[in-house]
Amino acid sequence: MAQTFETVGVVGLGTMGAGIAEVFARSGRRVIGVEADDAALERGRGHLERSTGKAVAKGKLTEDAQREILGRVTLTTSREDLADADLVIEAIPEIMEFKRGLFADLDRICKPSAVLATNTSSLSVTAIAAGTSRPGQVIGMHFFNPAPVMKLVEVVHTVVTDDGLADDVAALARSLGKTPITAGDRAGFVVNRLLLGYLNHACALLESGVAGRDDIDAAMKLGVGLPMGPFTLLDLIGLDTSYEVCEVLFRETRDRRHAPAPVLRELVTAGLLGRKTGRGFYSYGEAAPAAPKARRAASVSTVGIVGGGPDAAALATALERAGFKPVVAERSDLTAVGEADVVLALSDRPVVELAVRLPHPERLAGLHLVGDGVAEVASTVLTSPETAAAVHDLVKILDRTPVMCGDRAEFVVNALLYAYLNDAVRMLESGYASAGDIDTGMRLGCGYPAGPLEMLDAIGLEAVRDGLRALYAEYREPAFAPVPLLDQLVTAGVRSIREYAG
């Protein structure tokens, strides 16, 4: 018969542990929350009270229900109090030595039938299990931050996990209102492997000066529809955790894209770990600095547009309506835009080769329209600051958010997005996870509007393959080359990778 896990221990009541304790208590289970000392225990109590308190304030929970939930949680500093637990979940810092010490204690203290679970983001569940006398009853149960909100739980089994246990834990996750996906014990499992690769790539773009923090965040939030930009999310996850996950990914994959970006190391060393310390990529609790004074596009009258098609026509109409004088030229003959005050080269590829063909190359910037709300503005090495500022203003006048970036292959959005989609295809190709689990993982673990394979189908396999080829040609990064499966699907004329994967 499936195990029901009536009494659940949670060890470590930081952000994740307290969230996990809340989830179990809300499901009606008795929870024993354990912390190392009284101060940490009080912080854990604070997390629980604040989180449920917010729900009361919003009218999502009655005060009685809050009292009942908190009443189900016993807080203690003694691990011995876990003797009767049916399941214990560990959510302590990601240090293998600490985890193994804890699991040795749990193994000694907990009843023989108890299941021991780890919420580790990155460490090997197998290595944790191997340190106990019951490796068959050790499993990964990986929640996502904020645990009360994110609907995914990754259930991670090892080669020695008892038959049926992963199914029981998946059923438990469902009883908590979560959707489980089951995965084997590989670094980063499904979600962190894809997510941290992308987040670290965003750090690399930042460090290489292709775009700034706010531009990259805006690009991915508003251009792709992700709930948060990469730097906001890194701050939420914690830069120490992010660094550790990248480190473990790198150790397993030897893919240099997973080597933690130096900016992560620097921030972590400085103790700037993100929201939990009040500062990471952003500062929290301080008034936002005043936005820099808008530079005016007022001195601009004639706007050159390079490129044909509906985008150029729509842009010309919108500019005309806003009081500018648009002039359109095809790429093959730029004569018409030669004397324009600024020249917008509609392109999703670098535009410097167009600039050098103009009498005033400093007046040209690349413009890549992303969805309905964003426009990437690419400055070449020749673009003047005045041109960049004027195009920035023009984009705003057109009711789009400008994302200022360098003139590099795939600019920001497609560079980050396509590399991530390629990684998802690589994961599918390796047989580690099904297309459904990969999509569910990213949708429910990170709140993405669609999973990567769904996004790939929507954008078009060929467009992504071609974008990856351009990225590879520019950066010569082996992992940017289209995964063979993607290349072959395009060659074979297959339009949907999800249909292909069944």
Residues found near ligand 3HC in the complex (CB under 6 A): 51, 54, 58, 60, 121, 144-146, 148-150, 192, 195, 227-228, 233, 237, 241, 445-447
> Chain centroid to CA 305: how far?
35
Q: Which of 72, 156, 146 is nearest to 122 (CA)?
A: 156
Min dist CB 400 to ligand 3HC, Å, is: 21
CA–CA dist 461, 468 (Å, integer): 11
Min dist CB 121 to ligand 3HC, Å, is: 3
3-state secondary structure of 57: helix
Min dist CB 19 to ligand 3HC, Å, is: 6
Q: Which helix (H) or strand (E) holds 195?
A: helix 191-207
Min dist CB 472 to ligand 3HC, Å, is: 28
Note if 200 is an active site residue. no
Q: Which helix (H) or strand (E) holds 265?
A: helix 262-269
Taking the least distance from each CB to ligand 3HC, the nearer of 60 and 256 is 60
Min dist CB 471 to ligand 3HC, Å, is: 24
Min dist CB 458 to ligand 3HC, Å, is: 20
**β-strand partners of 184:** 157
Q: Which of 247, 238, 312, 308 is nearest to 273 (CA)?
A: 238
Degrees, nearest 5: CA angle 439-441-442: 70
DSSP string, 313-381: HHHHHHHHHTT-EEEEE-TT--GGGTT-SEEEEE-SS--HHHHTTSS-GGGEEEEEEETTTEEEEEE-T
3-state secondary structure of 248: helix
The one catalytic residue among 35, 51, 90, 142: 142
- DSSP state, 28? T
Taking the least distance from each CB to ligand 3HC, the nearer of 244 and 407 is 244
Taking the least distance from each CB to ligand 3HC, the nearer of 94 and 407 is 94
Q: Is the dihedral of CA 48, 50, 51, 55 positive or negative?
A: positive
Min dist CB 445 to ligand 3HC, Å, is: 6
Q: Which of 404, 386, 385, 408 is nearest to 395 (CA)?
A: 404
Taking the least distance from each CB to ligand 3HC, the nearer of 170 and 226 is 226
CA–CA dist 229, 456 (Å, integer): 20
Taking the least distance from each CB to ligand 3HC, the nearer of 121 and 380 is 121
Pairing relationship of beta strands 374-379 and 364-370 according to DSSP bridges: antiparallel
Phi, psi of 225 (to 5 degrees): 85, 20
Q: Is the dihedral of CA 56, 61, 65, 70 positive or negative?
A: negative
3-state secondary structure of 186: coil
The one catalytic residue among 119, 121, 200, 434: 121
Min dist CB 186 to ligand 3HC, Å, is: 14
Note if 192 is an active site residue. yes
Note if 154 is an active site residue. yes
Q: Which residue has the tokens 């992303």?
A: 370
The one catalytic residue among 22, 35, 94, 154: 154
Beta strands in 99-171 (DSSP E): 115-118, 138-142, 152-157
Min dist CB 147 to ligand 3HC, Å, is: 8
The CB density around residue 123, as the number of other CB atoms within 10 Å, is 20
Tokens of 455: 């996004």
Note if 121 is an active site residue. yes
Taking the least distance from each CB to ligand 3HC, the nearer of 366 and 441 is 441
The one catalytic residue among 119, 122, 145, 192: 192
Task: Report, as residue numbers or ranges, the catalytic residues.
Answer: 121, 142, 154, 192
